[in-house]
Structures are given as structure tokens and as C-alpha cells.
Amino acid sequence: EAGVAQSPRYKIIEKRQSVAFWCNPISGHATLYWYQQILGQGPKLLIQFQNNGVVDDSQLPKDRFSAERLKGVDSTLKIQPAKLEDSAVYLCASSSTRSTDTQYFGPGTRLTVL
Amino acid sequence: AQSVTQPDIHITVSEGASLELRCNYSYGATPYLFWYVQSPGQGLQLLLKYFSGDTLVQGIKGFEAEFKRSQSSFNLRKPSVHWSDAAEYFCAVATTTSGTYKYIFGTGTRLKVLA
């Protein structure tokens, strides 16, 4: 069974530029999560999708971050414009139908904002 | 507010020694509790989880954790550590509001294993 795929693995941009991350969850998984992991901290949930609907985006900085999950499968997370404090690893995870089912994490995208 | 505390930022043990990583949570109801491991450059991998029932939970790679409601703790243990266990370990709690589960992670404990 293929795992959660993310791309790119690394991205370096300058502040005020825009960037997008892509996630392909495990086939058949209805729930998809985006986390932000700043160095030295635990992952922080940014947004949670159930199929293609948003379940929780309370911690997503909506003035600069956006995410979508078209057709309930792949998802993209965008930052526009980026700030220095957005430097982090962005993790995507997926789980099957129930919210408490095991989350499977992708390898993450390491973003550096200069 | 719900929270997860991992009091130890770094822990160093010798290979073959026993290990205990501490985790305390703050949540009014019975929580769902998890331990994840993260190796460098990798995503998180689930070691074990507690939803209900037996308070001693067995996981992968020889790990176990014990849920103690009276102490609001969910400590991770391993009787004999291997060099390959060196990684960062995260405790997490899933809380529910209006039927939606939200995951809160601790800040992690980085484990170093001495040969």
C-alpha cells in the first residue's frame, strides 16, 4: 500500500513570495490533515478535511494561507505572501473515515523563508 | 484548554537500558491518547494508541504505554533500548468538540542512545 506522498520535499523562497505544497493521501482515506511543525515544536494542525469539505481550520492563518482538496483526494496548501516565521516542515496526514482512526503521515515539505 | 506536556526535551540512555518518556495531558473528559515517533527527515509513525479498556497498551517496536487517569499521564516505556530507537517522540491527545476530533501534540522528547 502506497503511503502519503508530498511534494516538493524542500523549498527555499524569499519573504513575500508565494509557495504551494501538494499532498496525495492514501487511497480511500476520507480525512486529510495539514500540520505545521516549527523546529523544536510538535506538529500544529492547520486544517482538516473530510472528503472535500473543511472540518476544522481554526488555526489556519487565513490572511495568507489557503488550502483546497478538490474531488476529495489530492490537496494543496498555499502560502501567499510568505513570512520568515512560516519557515517550518509542513506535514500532510490522512486517515480513513472515522476521525480517531490512525493518521498516516507523509515525509513533509521543509520550507525555508529567507 | 486542552494541552499536552512532555517535560523532558532531551533524554540520553545507554543501549540496552530501560526507557520511560513522560507525557501529561489536560482534558476534562476521557481522552484518546497516542505516541508517535519521528526519525530525522521522516514523517511521524504511530507507535501505539489508547482509546478505552486496558490501561496498559502494547505498541510496535517493543514499546508500551500506561494510561493513568489519576495522574493525567500516558508514559511510554521500553524495557531495553536499541540504537535504532534514537529519534524524536511525540505524545498526542485527540479531543472532541461537537463531534469533531482535534489532535494536539506535545513538543516532543528527543532520545539519544549511547552505544
| Count of domains for chain B | 1
pLDDT class of B30 with cuts at 50, 70, 90? confident
Top mean pLDDT of A29-33, A81-85, A95-99, B23-27 is at: A81-85
Beta bridge partners of A89: A37, A110
CATH class of A1-8+28-96: mainly beta
pLDDT of residue B27: 82
Percentage with pLDDT > 70 across chain B? 97
User: Mutate which of B2, B49, B89, B103 to disrupt the A interface (most A C-beta within 10 Å)?
Assistant: B103
pLDDT of residue A72: 82
- Answer whether residue B8 shows pLDDT above 60: yes
Alpha-carbon span A95 to A32, nearest angstrom:
7
Domain boundaries, chain A: 1-8+28-96
Partners of B101 on chain A (C-beta within 8 Å) are 99-100
What CATH number is given to the structural domain containing B42?
A: 2.60.40.10
B35 Cβ under 8 Å from any chain A Cβ:
no
pLDDT of residue A2: 78
Range of the domain at B97: 3-114
Beta bridge partners of B75: B66
Angle, CA of A34, B59 and B71, to the nearest 5°: 85
The dihedrals phi and psi of B45, each to the nearest 5 degrees, come to -120, 135
